[in-house]
Structure 1
Amino acid sequence: MRVTMRLRTLALVGLFVFTGARAELPEPVARLAYAAGIPEEAIGAIVLRGDTILVSNEADRPMLPASTMKVITSVVALDQLGPAFRGRTELRSSGDIVNGTLKGDLLVRGGADLDFTEDALVHLLERLRAQGVRRIAGDLVLDRQLFQPPRADVGKPQFDEAPEAYYNVIPDALLLNMNLLTVDMDSHGNGAVKAAILPELDRVDVRSGQALVNADCAAWEDGWKPPTVARNGGRLTVTLHGTFPRNCRQSYRINVLDRDDYADRLFRATWKRLGGTIAGKTRTVDLAEHTSALAAAAAAQGAIGSADGTASSAASSSSSPGGTDVDGTRLLAQHLSRALPELVRDTMKVSDNAWARTLFLSLGSLQGDETLGSRPLPAGQRLAMLMAANGGDTSMPSSTQARAEAVVRDWFKRHGIDDSGMVVENGSGLSRIERLRPVQLAAVLAAAEESPWAPEFQASLPIVGVDGTMKRRLKGTVAASRARIKTGTLRSGVAVAGYVPDANGEQCIVVAIINHDNIDHATGRGIVDALIEWTANSSAASPM
């Protein structure tokens, strides 16, 4: 079956590249585009029924895919990492536990755990407490080194005018609670906005500097401005700015604290509530420490400089507490995320950028493991990557992003899909440089149909008129409750990609991308939705 699929996708791509096959946009789609002033050359579209091309318009043109890029990340992740894959967070130490005191540092090692929430932290620390630990004599050490660079957010230019918004979170391997604060704002009562934040963090306050206005509470975001954070000694104060409607109550999730501050303060506040204390400071594992640990692990396995060896990493973990790792630490407690199909579903349904980016980076740093859930790439590979990043072998990927991209391109090659014209930045579509050809998206969707994990992938796609980002679209049409579509929206782009049963119940692949500087999102969605509806109503192949 896989060989058949490879031949089919090869034929599909070759058909467009070498023969310029074309079936025009359906009349309802073309009419809406004309009325909106969107030229047909700004619309890349392809509709397939089996091996028959029903629609093709600019299908071989590289285009800005927006969040339909998540289709690539999700399909490759399911195939490469496997459905048993789980991210993990570990508490480790080289110190002994004596009379309730951990005689050493407590290392918190990040392993791309998307479920590492405030509640997960509580459960993790409860497991530490169950071992008799009440006092940590050393430092709290944060290990984000699984992803390289470990803090891609530092120095990164903001994507748009809302850097504090959740959709703009740039992940790392130890992203506790997505680094989010939930701000509750209430202007009922004494003529001022009362502000509170959750979770409660050690030595973090919030105040509102928002001016009250007579405005619709539902439109409160019109007056929102990015908050600021001030440091006074050991305390942090988050100040809200802009305007806020009178007699209004709203909540909003923001990403404004440095994540080392956030992890430090949430960890300490949670441990304190559980009756624990930490004597030392909070610090992060630096590059020298990480390189030394990798070198020790690689040497122990005879894999120094082996870019494709199978030696286990220094960051690989025991499946139960007690085992000592090559770096001299032992596992005290761990938290595992849910299995990959659930993570993919939650990523795709609501189009979560941070989660998609984390899954993408996992492709460049982790392997699936049916027993452990996941384990880092071999130490030799990771050490070679670090050496490349610091002026070593330039043939090696020098970052986790570069390695993840190499994994995606290798997957394309193995499935007979031409990757020319594809530009990958972060795997989420929140990018102004990522590019895909509509025919590539169609080929990936075709390959996904034949994958062993096809049910898991298709279950992750929003159901038209029912849930996710398609919940309010195409209600009352023949496509509602039947088609499964991933959406994408950026300032200059609108896109859809997925599966649409036709009038006879035969599943079709539909991809449509509009790139135009003057596109109105509502209008653009109407155009691509018209293609979905046309496909759902179709029953015979269009002539070529």
Structure 2
Amino acid sequence: MDSRIKTLILHTLVLLFVFLPAAPSHAEVNEKKILSFISKNSSSRKKIGVMVRSADTGKTVFRYNSKEEFIPASNNKILSSIAALSLLGKGFRFKTEFYLGGGIHSGVGHGGLYVKGFGDPTIDIEKLREIAGRIKALGITGIEGGIYLDGSYFDDIHYGEGWDPEWRGKSFCPPVTAISFNYNSAKIKISASRVQGVPATVRTEPAEFPFPIKNRVSTKLKRSGVRAQYNERNELRLSGYVSSRKKAETLEISVPDPFFYFGATLKQVLKKEGIEVSGPIERRRVPRWTGKIFTHYSEPLGAIIHEYNKESVNIIGESIVKVIGAKHLNTQGSWKSGTHVIENHLRRIGLNGNFSVADGSGLSRLNRVSPEDITEALHVAYGDPDISEEFVASLPIAGVDGTLKKRFRALKGRIYAKTGYLEGARSLSGYAFAKNGRVYVFSIISNGMGTRVKKLQNLLLRELVY
């Protein structure tokens, strides 16, 4: 089925749920059963907070420790998504500008190609090919002077406060920059050779991965164990072994230099279009005397939020935070400026707890929010016609897609919620569409309880739906 048709059907279902008249009966929550579970599984070190409200009226249905502030993990994406749709608008598009340092003579663009990024985290290999096609359409067959990357729209702090330094190099924790490519990450696929002791075969996604690879991975009978680490020259060193009994080992990594990643990959793509580039690939601000040749725009924010929430793509949220700071405070995009604007917006729409927003995605352990404030944000978003459809549809759907595709299958299509996980923190917040027509907003956040909280999630959501 065409993806546009799928999206139309999904939006129709969301609208039916969101605007369906509520049935007169009120679903009852078995408080005794829920409180019994909590008392047996929580303690001073194993905290949990729960809040359930009517999505229509905001009336409390159930609460437990609901005003306590918790580390929300990826439930922080709920707050940044709602703020982004409200502050930037669902039609907002990220832009990337392209300039030439000189004129075009006999098909050759002189003075180098300049790229100025404004935080678009969604440029992938297909979009780079589109960009190369636009350059070719201008009659350019060569570029003299190199490729220059201007990332000055954001500050040079690439990792958020409260992020674990051990995460650097992982695909879920890439550096956040105003110019990005492929979420500033890549996949390294390592396949066993037919002969033990012989180096394994390495492939990359994208195939144009420009960083040198030093392959020290060999094939053995025993199970795989592969390490990837960049050295000071940004060479990717692979070591360890891959099992001959396994088809392939896949590593998902971030890149050490997003600017070089973008520029070097663009250079390769241009070459495939018949456009040779001579000169360096460097960071440099766009000079005033350059001439803009075109601007590339992303998909609308309403569509990008879908990928952000359903697949929990962290770099999207961090780019959004910095863009919000840059646009609303007319300053260089930063976590400090962006989170300040977001916190003020959340207070304006009714959140009144001692919450703290440290980033967009929820990677930071400095984020704090209560289930009460999460449900207040969900309630406000549900009733806001400007953002309700895009926001609700962006959440993973139980038994259908995203991070809930394999969960709550007995409640398929009736739970739209964001999952969250950090070591010691688990969360689930969103909407429950009951069989009697009622719609509930809920938030379940635990710090220190581990996987046992999943049993409470199952118990509570079944109570709400049935």
Q: TM-score, normalised by structure 2?
A: 0.85
Match of 2:409 among 468, 471, 475: 475
> Counterpart of 1:101?
108
Deviations 1:239-289 (A, max 9, x none): 223343223223333114422332232122222222222332222136xx7
Give, in angstroms, the shift of residue 34 of structure 1: 4.6
User: Which residue number corresponds to residue 88 of structure 1?
Assistant: 95
Partner of 2:355: 422
Q: CA RMSD in A?
A: 2.6
Q: Measure the CA separation in 2 of the matches of 1:285 and 1:59.
A: 49
Counterpart of 1:358, as a letter, is S
**TM-score, normalised with respect to structure 1:** 0.73
Q: What is the letter of the counterpart of residue 285 of structure 1?
A: R
Cα distance in 2 for residues equivalent to 1:194 and 1:36: 48
Cα distance between partner residues in 2 of 1:276 and 1:330: 19
- The one-letter amino acid paired with 1:415 is I
Secondary structure of 2:306's partner? helix
Residue aligning to 1:258: 257
Deviations 1:492-512 (CA, angstroms, capped at 9, x unpaired): 111111111234220011111
**% identical aligned pairs:** 22
Give the distance between the partners of 1:200 and 1:237, measured in 2 at CA: 15
The answer as to 2:142 corresponding to 1:135 is yes
Q: Is the 8 A contact 1:25 1:56 kept in 2?
A: no
What does 1:11-90 align with in structure 2 at a 5 Å threshold? Answer: 26-36=31-41, 38=43, 42-49=47-54, 50-90=57-97
Give the superposition deviation at 1:140. Answer: 1.4
Work out whether residues 44 and 514 of structure 1, in 8 Å CA contact, stay in contact via their aligned partners in 2: yes
What residue identity is the alignment partner of 2:382? E
Question: Is the partner of 2:99 in helix, strand or coil?
Answer: strand
Describe the superposition over 1:455-492 as per-residue Cα deviations: whole angstroms up to 9, x where unpaired.
1110001111221111111212xx32111111111111
Change in Cα spacing, 1:338 to 1:247, as seen in structure 2 (3 Å) is: same
In structure 1, the residue matched to 2:291 is: 330
Q: 1:225 and 2:227 equivalent?
A: yes
Offset, 1:334: 2.8
Question: Which of 424, 431, 456 pairs up with 1:527?
Answer: 456
SS at match of 2:190: strand
The partner residue of 1:343 within 291, 300, 304 is 304
Give how far 1:421 is off.
1.5
Gaps (5+ residues) in structure 1?
1-22, 294-326, 367-376, 387-398, 538-544
Deviates more, 1:491-500 or 1:399-408: 399-408
Aligned length: 432
Question: Which position in structure 1 is the counterpart of 2:323?
Answer: 362
Give the conservation status (yes or no) of the 8 Å contact 1:30–1:40. Answer: no
Aligned-partner SS, 2:409: coil
Decide which moves more: 355-364 or 57-66.
Answer: 355-364
Which stretches in structure 2 are left out of the alignment for 5+ residues? 1-27
> Is the aligned partner of 1:513 residue 2:442?
no
> Post-superposition shift, 1:41?
7.3
Q: Post-superposition shift, 1:529?
A: 2.9
Alignment partners' CA distance in 1, 2:43 and 2:435: 28
Q: Residue 434 of structure 1 corresponds to which residue in structure 2?
A: 367
The change in CA–CA distance for 1:40 and 1:104 in structure 2 (over 3 A counts) is closer
Q: Which amino acid aligns with 2:230?
A: T
Matched residues in 2 for 1:33 and 1:212: separation? 48
| Partner Cα separation in structure 2 for residue 161 and residue 342 of structure 1 | 32
Structure-1 separation of matches of 2:179 and 2:312: 21
Tell me the CA shift for residue 341 of structure 1: 1.2
Match of 2:178 among 149, 173, 180: 173
1:351 Cα deviation from its structure 2 partner: 1.2
Matching residue of 1:443: 376
Letter in 2 for 1:341: G
1:466 aligns with 2:386: no
Q: Contact 1:229–1:257 (CA<8 Å) still a contact in 2? A: no
Deviation at 1:39, TM superposition (A): 5.8
Find the counterpart in structure 2 of residue 369 from structure 1: none
**Hey, what's the Cα distance between the residues in 1 that align with 2:42 and 2:351?**
33
Q: Are residue 207 (structure 1) and residue 215 (structure 2) matched?
A: yes
| Residue type at the aligned position of 2:271 | K
2:295 partner letter: Q
